[in-house]
Amino acid sequence: MSAASANPSLFRRFWANYIHRHSWGILLCLLLMIVEGSALGGLSYLLKPLFDVVFTPGGETALYGVGFAIFGLFAARAFTVVVSRTLIWSISQKVSAAMQSDLLRHILTLDAPFFQTNPPGVLIERVQGDTAAVQGIWSALVTGIGRDLLGLVALMAVAVSIDLRWTLAALIGAPLLILPAALLQRYVRRKSRELREQAGQRATRLDEIFHGINAVKLNRMEDYQTTRFRNVLKTIRRAEVRSVFGRSLMPGMIDLVTGLGFFAVLLMAGDEISSGQRTTGDFMSFFTAMSLTFQPLRRLGEMSGTWQVASASLERIYALLDSRPAYPRPQISGTVPAAGPPEIRFDNVTFAHGDQAVLHGLSFVAEAGKTTALVGASGAGKSTVFHLLTGLLEPASGAILIGGATTTQMSLADQRALFATVTQDSALFDETLAENIALGRAVDPDALERALQAAHVVDFLPALSRGVQTPVGPRGSALSGGQRQRVAIARALVQDAPVLLLDEATSALDAQSESVVAGALALGSLGRTTLVIAHRLATVRDADKIVVMDHGRVAETGTHDQLLAQGGLYAGLYRLQFKD
Ligand SMILES: Nc1ncnc2c1ncn2[C@@H]1O[C@H](COP(=O)(O)OP(=O)(O)OP(=O)(O)O)[C@@H](O)[C@H]1O
């Protein structure tokens, strides 16, 4: 991978995408920081009249002039420091927010293969950790250029104006810094990259633990999980310490070189002052100017480390922004099914998860406006059929036709608008019950009421403090499994989609609620093409057609009675479930 510093185009992109629009604000910050930075130069310059005029007999008259000038310098610094810090942080927060929302928007365009290799923790770290690292750099850069570099120039100008030879002597050790600086930069960048990757693992661990909190407690895994977490922290700590070590070596070396310079100046200046060639004021002014270069020099040295840290993060951010979906789809559909419930046809579809073949030439038809059930043993590939239908996965070969339109020629948005889905995982969000049903779309209040009735959400509404306006908690944790499923069913019923997909849609309900909700779903499926996955065969007995899947193939097709009469796989499964 090319590093960002070796690839300035990354920084150019960053500038064009995020910083450029704030040019005027940044320019103002730079100007304010120039005032702040050059104040130190002014202060050291004023020491010469202080020592050579004010502190000499008869110099009292100049005291007020010099005193006010020094006070003025500090007052200017006070003003610029407040305004420039506030301004730079406000811009920096805007940039960070823009990057984070761009990253999220882009991540949401990526598909299953991406999410299989990038767990939530890693992605959270990318959106938060990497943008924070980048946020640090450019505000440091503006401060570095505006205040420190300009400050340094002002201080050097004072030093040169006093004595060029002294200045050159002070800088005697500077060339020694060049090679170690280059090596250090590479080291820090490598460590920062490692650090960010490990930070992703840390977030993943925490994400898994907190999402599986009950499993952790019930299996008494507290110590085990804490030890695993501690091990991740140990590697992070090592990388962090090495990165900080590398970053502090630079200001450390600057200190050494400065010490060397001071020593050289003392050797030269000592004789010249005692022999009366130069005044003490000259020396004090020079000495102060050189001493004040310490801080900006160190900060600039540290900035090279910050720069490397940001380079590593910027590299990761743009690698993510440049990644494309594994299954490219047109933005605008080449073809879409006609209005009304469509026929769904799988034509010799194959699919594999990596090396593991899941579907081996699957062919079946779900007739328009009818209910088709998919049954078969666990792992037969039933949910995979739903994922392929909704474009979460893409067939390796063969075709899926919805209302005669091939899915690969449709945009994902058009394809997904055809389906209302209820799955085993109800996927509720930390919003109110009503918001979980509407999903950000305008819903007619009458339609909402009908869906709440049909899905039997009304049965438990009185128990909720604020009815449909009650927040359901993270992932719907404030509701029971059965209640969550009823909300998910209401959500599917209010959608005006021509196809209904039900994957174990009533599995979390008790027998009584199940039969009532199944009735509601049967009503909901009127005028729609419906596909149902169910393990309990009793729930699919009335389907217009039953497709029996076995190891990624269709083993049998027919109605319940036909399949029972055939005495094949379905009849065997059915007998097993109803052997009593
Ligand atoms: N993300 C994945 N990575 C690798 N293999 C997977 C993945 N998801 C599913 N599989 C495999 O694909 C096969 C089919 O899974 P699928 O979920 O479609 O089965 P199913 O018939 O719906 O099973 P169930 O009735 O248990 O829900 C299984 O063997 C499973 O191990």
Annotate 326-364 with DSSP letters as a single string: SS---SS-S--PPSSPPPEEEEEEEEEETTEEEEEEEEE
Q: How far is the CA of 386 from the centre of ligand 1 (A)?
A: 11
Assign residue 480 a region: left if phi > 0, alpha if psi is -120 to 50, beta otherwise? Answer: beta
Using only C-alpha atoms, what is the Rg of the chain?
Answer: 35
Strands (E), 444-528: 499-503
Distance CA 246, CA 294 (A): 19
Q: Is the CB of 384 under 6 A from ligand 1?
A: yes
Lowest-pLDDT choice from 228-232, 494-498, 506-510? 506-510
More confident position, 335 or 349: 349
The mean pLDDT value for 467-486 works out to 86
Lowest-pLDDT choice from 57-66, 204-213, 493-502? 57-66
Q: Are 565 and 573 in contact (CB under 8 A)?
A: no
Q: How far is the CA of 115 from the centre of ligand 1 (A)?
A: 16
Distance CA 292, CA 295 (A): 6
Q: What are the tokens at 80? A: 């610029």
Which residue of 358, 385, 388, 503 sits with most ligand 1 atoms within 8 Å of its CB, as the best mutation to test the pocket?
358
Q: How far is the CA of 58 from the centre of ligand 1 (A)?
A: 95
Q: How confident is the model at residue 508 (pLDDT cuts 50, 70, 90)?
A: low
Note the Cα 110 to chain centre separation in Å.
13
- Atom of ligand 1 lying closest to residue 116 CA: 1
Residue with CA nearest ligand 1 atom 3: 353
61, burial (CB in 10 Å: exposed 0-12, middle 13-18, buried 19+):
exposed
Q: How far is the CA of 172 from the centre of ligand 1 (A)?
A: 69
Please state which of the four CATH numbers 3.40.630.30, 3.40.50.300, 3.40.50.720, 3.40.605.10 is assigned to the domain occupying 344-577: 3.40.50.300
Q: How far is the CA of 327 from the centre of ligand 1 (A)?
A: 19
Can you give the pLDDT at residue 117? 86
The mean pLDDT value for 526-541 works out to 86
Q: How confident is the model at residue 406 (pLDDT cuts 50, 70, 90)?
A: very high
Tell me the pairing of strands 405-406 and 397-402: antiparallel
Residue with CA nearest ligand 1 atom 17: 383
Q: Tell me the average pLDDT of the chain.
A: 85
Annotate 54-77 with DSSP letters as a single string: ITSTTTTHHHHHHHHHHHHHHHHH
Q: How far is the CA of 531 from the centre of ligand 1 (A)?
A: 18
Q: Are 321 and 110 in contact (CB under 8 A)?
A: no
Can you give the pLDDT at residue 7? 59
Q: How confident is the model at residue 411 (pLDDT cuts 50, 70, 90)?
A: very high
Is residue 227 scored above 90 in pLDDT? yes
Can you give the pLDDT at residue 556? 92
Can you give the pLDDT at residue 499? 95
The mean pLDDT value for 87-115 works out to 91
Is residue 458 scored above 80 in pLDDT? yes
Q: Is the CB of 536 under 6 A from ligand 1?
A: no
Distance (Å) of CA 20 to CA 26, 87, 138, 216, 515:
9, 15, 12, 48, 61
Residue-wise pLDDT tens digits, 117-165? 888 888 998 899 899 888 877 777 777 777 778 778 878 888 888 888 8
Distance (Å) of CA 247 to CA 95, 147, 233, 254:
25, 20, 20, 12
- Atom of ligand 1 lying closest to residue 356 CA: 5
Q: Which residues contact 335 (CB under 8 A, 6 or more apart)?
A: 404, 405, 406, 409, 410
Q: Is the CB of 381 under 6 A from ligand 1?
A: yes
Residue-wise pLDDT tens digits, 365-381? 999 999 999 998 888 89
List residues bridging with 432 in a β-sheet.
471
Amino acid identity for residue 3 in this structure: A
Residue with CA nearest ligand 1 atom 18: 381
Assign residue 292 a region: left if phi > 0, alpha if psi is -120 to 50, beta otherwise? Answer: alpha
Strands of 397-402's sheet in order across: 356-366, 344-353, 397-402, 405-406
Which residue of 349, 351, 382, 507 sits with most ligand 1 atoms within 8 Å of its CB, as the best mutation to test the pocket?
382
Q: How far is the CA of 549 from the centre of ligand 1 (A)?
A: 13
Can you give the pLDDT at residue 400? 95
Q: How confident is the model at residue 546 (pLDDT cuts 50, 70, 90)?
A: very high
Q: How far is the CA of 478 from the centre of ligand 1 (A)?
A: 29
Is residue 104 scored above 80 in pLDDT? yes
* Residue among 331, 397, 387 nearest 360 (CA): 397
Lowest-pLDDT choice from 57-66, 315-324, 452-461? 57-66
Distance CA 78, CA 87 (A): 14
Residue-wise pLDDT tens digits, 337-351? 888 899 999 999 999
* Residue among 565, 570, 531 nearest 554 (CA): 570
Can you give the pLDDT at residue 73? 84
Residue with CA nearest ligand 1 atom 28: 379
Can you give the pLDDT at residue 580? 53
Strands of 545-550's sheet in order across: 419-422, 499-503, 529-533, 371-376, 545-550, 553-558
More confident position, 490 or 51: 490
Q: How far is the CA of 353 from the centre of ligand 1 (A)?
A: 9
Can you give the pLDDT at residue 355? 86
406: which DSSP letter? Answer: E
Q: Is the CB of 116 under 6 A from ligand 1?
A: yes
The mean pLDDT value for 436-460 works out to 88
Residue-wise pLDDT tens digits, 108-117? 999 888 998 8
Is residue 6 scored above 70 in pLDDT? no
Q: How confident is the model at residue 528 (pLDDT cuts 50, 70, 90)?
A: very high
The mean pLDDT value for 194-218 works out to 87
Strands (E), 431-544: 499-503, 529-533
Q: How far is the CA of 383 from the centre of ligand 1 (A)?
A: 7
Fold classification of 14-322 is ABC transporter transmembrane region fold (1.20.1560)
- Atom of ligand 1 lying closest to residue 384 CA: 18
Distance CA 32, CA 44 (A): 20
Q: Is the CB of 328 under 6 A from ligand 1?
A: no
503: which DSSP letter? Answer: E
Residue with CA nearest ligand 1 atom 5: 353
Q: How far is the CA of 391 from the centre of ligand 1 (A)?
A: 16
Q: What are the tokens at 184? A: 């250090």
**Domain ranges for the chain:** 14-322, 344-577
- Atom of ligand 1 lying closest to residue 385 CA: 18
**SS3 label, residue 372:** strand
Distance CA 102, CA 380 (A): 39
Is residue 405 scored above 80 in pLDDT? yes
Q: Is the CB of 378 under 6 A from ligand 1?
A: yes
Q: What are the tokens at 258? A: 């400065």
The mean pLDDT value for 357-367 works out to 93
The mean pLDDT value for 219-228 works out to 90
The mean pLDDT value for 542-567 works out to 92
Can you give the pLDDT at residue 221? 85
Residue carrying structure tokens 């069913």: 489
Which residue of 115, 353, 535 sits with most ligand 1 atoms within 8 Å of its CB, as the best mutation to test the pocket?
353
Q: What are the tokens at 100? A: 């984070």
Q: Is the CB of 423 under 6 A from ligand 1?
A: no
Is residue 3 scored above 50 in pLDDT? no
Residue-wise pLDDT tens digits, 246-305? 888 877 888 788 888 888 888 888 888 888 788 878 888 888 888 777 777 777 777 777
Amino acid identity for residue 104 in this structure: L
Distance CA 66, CA 60 (A): 10
Q: How far is the CA of 235 from the centre of ligand 1 (A)?
A: 34
Residue with CA nearest ligand 1 atom 29: 379
Percent of the chain whose pLDDT exceeds 70: 98
Can you give the pLDDT at residue 190? 87
Q: Is the CB of 383 under 6 A from ligand 1?
A: yes
Measure the CA angle with vertex 312, ends 191 and 100; round to 5°. Answer: 130
Q: Is the CB of 191 under 6 A from ligand 1?
A: no
Lowest-pLDDT choice from 6-10, 467-471, 486-490, 567-571? 6-10
Q: How far is the CA of 345 from the centre of ligand 1 (A)?
A: 21
Which residue of 356, 362, 553 sits with most ligand 1 atoms within 8 Å of its CB, as the best mutation to test the pocket?
356
Q: What are the tokens at 97? A: 């927010």
List residues bridging with 529 in a β-sheet.
499
